[in-house]
Amino acid sequence: MSGDTAKIVMKDVHKSFGSKHVLNGIDLTVERGTSMVIIGGSGTGKSVALKCILGLIHADSGSILVDGVETMGMSDRERNAMMGKFGMLFQGGALFDSLPVWHNVAFGLIHGQGMSLKQARDIAVDKLKSVGLGSQVANLFPAELSGGMQKRVSLARAIATEPEIIFFDEPTTGLDPIMADVINNLIVECVKNLGATALTITHDMASVRKIADHVSMIYEGKMIWTGGVDRLDDSGNPYVDQFIHGRAQGPITKHAHMA
């Protein structure tokens, strides 16, 4: 997986926090219009990898290409312009609690694209409808919503600007299985409708099987396996096998005990 069809390419990306090496030479390619899911245990560097692509964390070394353009060492202005391509659903929603729901959804349109309030509000209500929330929710504040509804609002915000690339950071964490499935369906639908490239990080295997075209497993800051979702069950990789079956016994536990 590489070449002109690649939307995101990470090559030998390293990131350390003090003496702790979180990314130890990550290599990842996400093809245009496909859905890549990164799996891996807690603290293996999934979120850091994702934030390095967005520039929220600066990688120490390596190369990160978006649409073939090197993003390492980009100026703030260039990066700000590039951000228009991205939408992101944060793990905790990250909704602005001082703003009503509609303004949260329309935020990127108003402040990022300079759209008028009325037009942005109409689009926000449409986007809320597309994630199954009625217009009566638009004037509520995030604190008045349940966890599932907050995720939907966050999803609506992520797709409001119709981005080319959407990141999902553990989209089903903290949700009941039914609501998790609803969110998974919405993600698949939204990504398909937009024709966007999606990059998701999750532990939730049901989510992986529903969302992913390709899966990559991260372990100790490196990608140790990448393949199609249909190959997940016969990957031949003992780390992947252990992780997807949620076994306590296996190379991951052994190593963790030794560390």
* Contact set with another protein (CB under 8 A): 51, 54-56, 76, 80-81, 83-84, 86-88, 90-92, 94-97, 107-108, 111-113, 157, 161
- Shortest CB 117 distance to another protein, Å: 11
DSSP string, 2-59: -STTEEEEEEEEEEEETTEEEEEEEEEEEETT-EEEEE--TTSSHHHHHHHHHTSS--
Least separation in angstroms between residue 109's CB and another protein is 9
The DSSP element (H or E) to which 148 belongs, if any, is helix 147-160
CB of 87 to another protein, least distance (A): 7
Identify which of residues 94 and 224 has a Cβ nearer to another protein in the complex: 94
- Gyration radius (Cα) of the chain, Å: 18
Between 161 and 197, name the residue whose CB sits nearer to another protein: 161
Q: Classify 34 in phi/psi space as left (phi over 0), alpha (psi -120 to 50) or beta.
A: beta
Choice between 93 and 244, CB closer to another protein? 93
CB-based burial label for 77 (10 Å; 0-12, 13-18, 19+) = exposed
Minimum gap (Å) between residue 189 Cβ and another protein: 21
Query: Shortest approach of another protein to residue 238 CB, angstroms?
Result: 33
Nearer to another protein, 154 or 235 (CB): 154
Residue closest to 37 by CA, chosen among 214, 218, 234, 254: 214
**Cβ-based nearer residue to another protein, 41 or 163:** 163
